[in-house]
């Protein structure tokens, strides 16, 4: 599975949109982009996933570039409870989820 | 989303004893379950993959005789840490995937089990 690169940490003001970038320049055609987050001392929580098109659900939006080499997770109105480690993972069908270092998002009031 | 539970949520044991951790998918059938380990301030590390009714596949460097995995049903997998030592102290997280592992089958995680070996 393709490797991903994320910034180690980001800060965001409460109520503002949090935009978390992820580079996956070696992604192949059948690999999906998944986003999970982990709040301290809890199991990871699924957020969203996509292949080529932009996706939106009740938690977030996922914007994937046309060449699919990068993506951005958008939390439209960040709250203090969104403070967590966010993981961007690329996975092929039937393959394992392998976690990288992720991005520590700190939402500040 | 689907719910995965783990029991116990935390456990303290003496060195040399064995500890069993249960992982259950509560509202779906999981043909594949995964076990991860996470040390403080580190990311999750995949230990093994188990498919219902067959032997688990362990990642490189994970001792299969030390970490016994049983996936006896579509809703239950267990991890037994045998002869635990202080270096086995960690946060153990299980995960369950619905269906046959296709692209649209999200993987859901349990809340984790904190193991402390004295």
Tell me the per-residue pLDDT of B30-72, one tens digit each, with 9 for 90 and over. Answer: 889 999 999 999 999 999 999 888 889 999 999 999 999 998 8
pLDDT mean across residues, chain A = 94
pLDDT above 70 covers what percent of chain B? 93
Question: Is the pLDDT assigned to residue A37 strictly greater than 70?
Answer: yes
Instruction: pLDDT band for B1, please (50, 70, 90 cuts).
Output: low
Confidence of residue B100 (pLDDT cuts 50, 70, 90): low
Give first-to-last CA distance, chain A, whole Å: 38
A 18-77 residues inside an 8 A Cβ radius of B? 30, 32, 34, 36, 38, 41-46, 49, 51
Percent of chain A past pLDDT 90, that is, above it, reads 84
- Shortest Cα distance from B76 to chain A (angstroms)? 17
Pairing between strand B90-98 and B113-117?
Answer: antiparallel
In A9-105, alpha helices (H)? none
Token pair of B21 as six digits: 């951790």
pLDDT at residue B107, rounded to an integer: 85
Nearest to B106 among A46, A87, A102 (CB): A46
Of A42-56, B5-19, B104-118, least confident by mean pLDDT is B104-118
Residue B99 pLDDT exceeds 80:
no
Question: With 70 as the cut, is the pLDDT of residue B103 above it?
Answer: no
Mean pLDDT for A51-67 is 95
Nearest 5°: phi and psi at B21? -115, 130
Say if residue B8 is preceded by a cis peptide, omega within 30 of 0: yes
Name the closest residue on chain B to residue A100, using Cα atoms.
Answer: B43
Mutating which of A43, A87, A89 best tests the B interface, going by the most B Cβ atoms within 10 A?
A: A43
Out of A94, A98, A102, closest to residue B101 by CB: A94
User: Nearest by CB to B43, which of A49, A96, A101?
Assistant: A101
Q: In chain A, pLDDT over 70 holds for what percent of residues?
A: 98
Q: Do A96 and B34 touch (CB under 8 A)?
A: yes
């Amino acid at each position: 599975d393709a490797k991903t690169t994320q910034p180690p940490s980001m800060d965001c003001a409460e109520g503002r949109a949090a935009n978390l970038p992820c580079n996956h320049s070696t992604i192949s055609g059948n690999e999906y982009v998944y986003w999970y987050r982990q709040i301290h001392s809890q199991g990871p929580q699924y957020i969203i996933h996509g292949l080529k098109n932009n996706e939106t659900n009740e938690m977030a939006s996922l914007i994937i570039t046309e060449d699919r080499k990068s993506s951005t997770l958008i939390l439209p109105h960040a709250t203090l409870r969104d403070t967590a480690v966010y993981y961007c993972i690329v996975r092929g069908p039937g393959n394992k989820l392998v976690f990288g270092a992720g991005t520590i998002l700190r939402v500040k009031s | 989303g689907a719910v995965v539970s783990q029991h116990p949520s935390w456990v303290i044991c003496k060195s040399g004893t064995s500890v069993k951790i249960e992982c259950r998918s509560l509202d779906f059938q999981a043909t594949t379950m995964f076990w991860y380990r996470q040390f403080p301030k580190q990311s999750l590390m995949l230990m093994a993959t188990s498919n219902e009714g067959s032997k688990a596949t362990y990642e490189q460097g994970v001792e299969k005789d030390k970490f016994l995995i049983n996936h006896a049903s579509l809703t239950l997998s267990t991890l037994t840490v045998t002869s635990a030592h202080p270096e086995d102290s960690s946060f153990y997280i299980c995960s369950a995937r619905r269906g046959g592992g296709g692209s649209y089958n999200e993987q859901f995680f349990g809340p984790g089990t904190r193991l402390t070996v004295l």
